[in-house]
Amino acid sequence: MVVRPFWRYSLRTVALAYLAVLLIGPVVFIFIKTFEHGFETAWSYVTTPAAVSAFWLSVLIAAIAVPLNTIFGVGTAIVLIRSKARGRRLLDALIDIPFVVSPVIAGLALVLVYGINGWFGSWFADHGIQIIYAPAGMIIATVFVSLPFCVREVAPVLMEVGTEQEQAATTLGASSWQTFWRVTLPSIRQGVAYGVVLTTARALGEIGAVAVVSSNVLGSTVSLPLLVKYRTTTPGPGGITAAYATGTELAVMSLIVLLAMTLLSPQRKDAR
Amino acid sequence: MRIDAEAIYKRFGDEFVALDDVTLHVPEGSLTALLGPSGSGKSTLLRIMAGLETPDSGVVRIGGRDFTDARPQERGIGFVFQHYAAFTHMSVYDNVAFGLKIRKRPKAEVRAKVDELLELVGLTQWGGQRPHQLSGGQRQRMALARALAIEPRVLLLDEPFGALDANVRGELRRWLRRLHDEQHVTTVLVTHDQEEAMEVADTVAVMNKARIEQVGSPRDVYDRPATDFVMSFLGPISKVDGKLVRPHDVTIFLAEEPGTIEAMVKRVVHLGFEVRVEVEVPDGSRATAQLTRQRTEELELAAGDIVYIRPPSGSGPDTVRVADSAVGQTRTADPQST
CATH number of the CATH domain containing A79: 1.10.3720.10
pLDDT at residue B287 above 90?
A: no
pLDDT of residue A2: 65
Tell me which of A157, A166, A171 to substitute to probe the interface with B (most B C-beta atoms closer than 10 Å): A171
Could B99 and A173 be called an inter-chain contact, meaning their C-beta atoms sit closer than 8 Å?
yes
Q: A43 in a domain, yes or no?
A: no
Model pLDDT, residue A174 = 93
Examine the domain organization and report whether A160 and A111 are in the same domain.
yes
* Nearest residue to A247 via CA among A239, A235, A237: A239
Instruction: Give the single-character DSSP code of A266.
Output: P
Residue of A nearest to B95 (CA): A169
Cα–Cα distance, A30 to A50 (Å, whole number): 21
Q: Measure the CA–CA gap between A32 and A97, rounded to whole angstroms.
A: 37
Residue A1 covered by a domain: yes
A174 to chain B: which residues are within 8 Å by CB? 73, 98, 102
Q: What is the pTM (predicted TM-score) of this model?
A: 0.80
> Based on the domain organization, do A18 and A130 belong to the same domain?
no
CA closest to B49 among chain A residues: A171
Nearest residue of B to residue A162, measured between CA atoms:
B85
Please indicate if any CB of chain A lies within 8 Å of the CB of B88.
yes
Using the Cα atoms of residue B113, residue B114, residue B119 and residue B120 in order, give the sign of their dihedral: positive
Quick one: A17 and A88 in the same domain? no
Are both A143 and A212 inside the same structural domain? yes
- Measured from the Cβ of residue B228, the count of other Cβ atoms closer than 10 Å reads 14
Ranges of chain A with pLDDT below 70 = 1-3, 265-272
- Asked whether the beta carbons of residue A168 and residue B132 sit closer than 8 angstroms, the reply is no
Considering only CB atoms, which chain B residues are within 8 Å of A175? Answer: 73
* pLDDT interval class at B271 (50, 70, 90): confident
Range of the domain at A19: 1-34
For B86, counting Cβ atoms within 10 Å of its Cβ (0-12 exposed, 13-18 middle, 19+ buried), the class is buried
ipTM computed for the complex: 0.81
Q: Which residues contact B224 (CB under 8 A, 6 or more apart)?
A: B216, B320, B321, B323
C-alpha–C-alpha distance, residues A222 and A220, integer Å = 6
Do A10 and A80 share a domain, yes or no? no
The verdict on A84 touching B (C-beta cutoff 8 Å) is no
Chain A partners within 8 Å of B89 (Cβ):
186-187, 268
**A199 in a domain, yes or no?**
yes
pLDDT of amino acid A227: 87
User: Under a CB-based contact definition with an 8 Å cutoff, are residues B68 and B55 in contact?
Assistant: yes
Total domains, chain A: 2
User: Does residue A64 belong to any structural domain of this protein?
Assistant: yes
A167 and A202 both lie in a single domain: yes
3-class SS string, B199-240: HHCCEEEEEECCEEEEEECHHHHHHCCCCHHHHHHHCCCEEE
How many angstroms separate the CA atoms of B92 and B95, rounded?
5
- Residues above pLDDT 70, as percent of chain B: 93
Domain match, A56 and A6 both: no
In a domain, residue A114? The reply is yes
User: What are the pLDDT digits (tens) for A4-27?
Assistant: 788 888 899 999 999 888 888 888
Residue B332 has pLDDT above 50, yes or no: no
Whether A29 and A140 map to the same domain: the answer is no
B67 and chain A in contact, CB less than 8 A: no
A183 contact residues in B (CB cutoff 8 A):
87
Q: What is the pLDDT of residue A175?
A: 93
In terms of Cβ atoms closer than 10 Å to its own Cβ (0-12, 13-18, 19+), residue B39 is middle
The answer on pLDDT for B316 being more than 60 is no
Inter-chain CB proximity B84 and A272 less than 8 Å? yes
Chain A, window 117-136: residues with a beta carbon less than 8 angstroms from a chain B beta carbon: none
CB atoms within 10 A of CB B274: 15
Query: Which chain A residues touch B131 with a CB distance below 8 Å?
Result: 270, 272
Contact A272 B77 (CB under 8 A): no
The pLDDT tens digits of the residues spanning B217-259 come to 999 999 889 999 999 999 888 888 778 888 888 888 888 888 8
For residues B241 and B236, give the distance between their C-alpha atoms in angstroms, rounded to a whole number.
17
| Residue A42 within a domain | no
What is the average pLDDT across B308-328? 55
User: Are A58 and A98 in the same domain?
Assistant: yes
**Residue A213, domain member (yes or no):** yes
pLDDT at B119 over 70: yes
Nearest to A171 among B50, B84, B131 (CB): B50
Report chain A residues whose CB lies below 8 A from the CB of B75: 171
Q: Establish if A234 belongs to a structural domain.
A: yes
How does the average pLDDT of chain B come out, rounded? 87
Q: Are strands B251-253 and B306-310 parallel, antiparallel or unpaired?
A: antiparallel
Q: Could you tell me if A69 and A159 lie in one domain? A: yes
Which of B12, B84, B102, B144 has the highest number of chain A CBs within 10 A, making it the mutation to test binding with A? B102
Q: Do A268 and B89 touch (CB under 8 A)?
A: yes
In this structure, the answer to whether residues A114 and A14 fall within a common structural domain is no
Question: In this predicted structure, what is the pLDDT of residue A213?
Answer: 85
Chain B residue numbers with beta carbons less than 8 Å from the beta carbon of A268 are: 88-89
Residues A123 and A246 in one domain: yes
